[in-house]
Amino acid sequence: MANNDITRVTHRTGHRNDEVVLHHKQLVNETQPVDDNHDMGAMGREQVFIRKFSFWSALGISVCCSGSWEGISAAAATALMSGGSTAIIYGYIAAALGGICIAATLAELASAWPTSGALYHWIGALFPANYRPFVGFITSTFQLGIGWISISSVAFGVAYQVQAYAMVSHPEYVAEDWHTILLIWATLILAVAVTFLGPKLAHYMNIYAMAFHVISFLIVIITLLATTQNKNSAKYVFTGVQNYSGWPDGLAWCIGLLTVVYGFIGFETVAYFSEEIQHASHNVPKASESTQP
């Protein structure tokens, strides 16, 4: 829309807000890739956000929201007591195969409907028209609840890890419950504060967080292998089953499997940013699939 069109509408309505809205729409439409504009039009949606996130930024979102090695290491104690190392090793293989299949399915849907509504939009599109409002409401409610639970569990894990580092560095430190609560709140406040970053800063932060994720993994693995004095035998690692849970061995092993599955949640999160990612119908599926091992 030309500048004189904006001025003409402004004079007719008498409101400067109309000029701002029209100028924003013009800026959004001119800065979007052609394929993204086509996809939004095909879905009957209007582009609101300026797409600042590249493929690497999308990959950073997917990798960091999944947090595979961080999630597994934070809950590894549960698996070691319920199933032992075999629950982690073979459970990881099983979870990886399942994760790849799920990611492939979600990638296909994200390619067909690259919208930030993601799951509830896809389900609504696949269901008959009469059932769309109901299934969309149910799905979005579950999405909201899962989001709350996931954020709370991550904050809880971060709080416990910080306290563990403090106890290792200062043996005299005694972890109190109120310390844990304050650390959880601090983690949540930090997570909310990050959302106030501008799109450009958020783009670079996503890439930095992904690099930090990979480098930290290498540092932790190399440090553990280099500094651990007493190592278990290969037989113990690959065939041993430890059960201190009080449940039967088979059920205990399944409980330990949950620890590994925890590291495979969240790889669909990048789909919720579809309307902020360039070439979303290509980059969102690629980012989701690339997160899998």
32-82 pLDDT, tens per residue? 565 677 677 777 777 777 788 889 988 988 888 887 888 788 778 888 888
Q: Note whether 2 and 46 are same-domain residues.
A: no
Whole-model pTM: value is 0.74
- Within a domain: 162: no
Q: Note whether 233 and 246 are same-domain residues.
A: yes
**Dihedral sign computed on CA atoms, order 160, 161, 166, 168:** positive
What is the pLDDT at residue 34? 56
Q: Note whether 13 and 66 are same-domain residues.
A: no
Q: Note whether 121 and 204 are same-domain residues.
A: yes
Cβ atoms within 10 A of the Cβ of 43, count? 15
- Within a domain: 215: yes
Cα–Cα distance for residue pair 103/267, rounded to 1 Å = 7
Cα–Cα distance for residue pair 281/272, rounded to 1 Å = 13
Q: Note whether 11 and 93 are same-domain residues.
A: no
Contacts of 92 (CB under 8 A, 6+ apart): 72, 260
What is the pLDDT at residue 250? 85
- Within a domain: 53: yes
Cα–Cα distance for residue pair 12/261, rounded to 1 Å = 59
What is the pLDDT at residue 32? 57
What is the pLDDT at residue 236? 86
What is the pLDDT at residue 248? 87
- Within a domain: 158: no
Q: Note whether 109 and 211 are same-domain residues.
A: yes
In angstroms, the first-to-last Cα distance of the chain is: 46
What is the pLDDT at residue 252? 87
Cα–Cα distance for residue pair 267/74, rounded to 1 Å = 18
The total number of structural domains that make up the chain:
2
Q: Note whether 208 and 271 are same-domain residues.
A: yes
Residue 34: is it exposed, middle or buried by C-beta count within 10 angstroms (0-12/13-18/19+)?
A: exposed
SS3 16: helix
Parent domain of 246? 34-125+199-290
- Within a domain: 161: no
Which residue in the block uniquely carries the two structure tokens 């961080």? 70
SS3 94: helix
Q: Note whether 235 and 116 are same-domain residues.
A: yes
Q: Note whether 18 and 78 are same-domain residues.
A: no
Q: Note whether 216 and 236 are same-domain residues.
A: yes
- Within a domain: 254: yes
Cα–Cα distance for residue pair 195/276, rounded to 1 Å = 14
- Within a domain: 178: no
Q: Note whether 8 and 49 are same-domain residues.
A: no
- Within a domain: 179: no
Q: Note whether 4 and 119 are same-domain residues.
A: no
Residues (pLDDT < 50) of the chain are 1-30
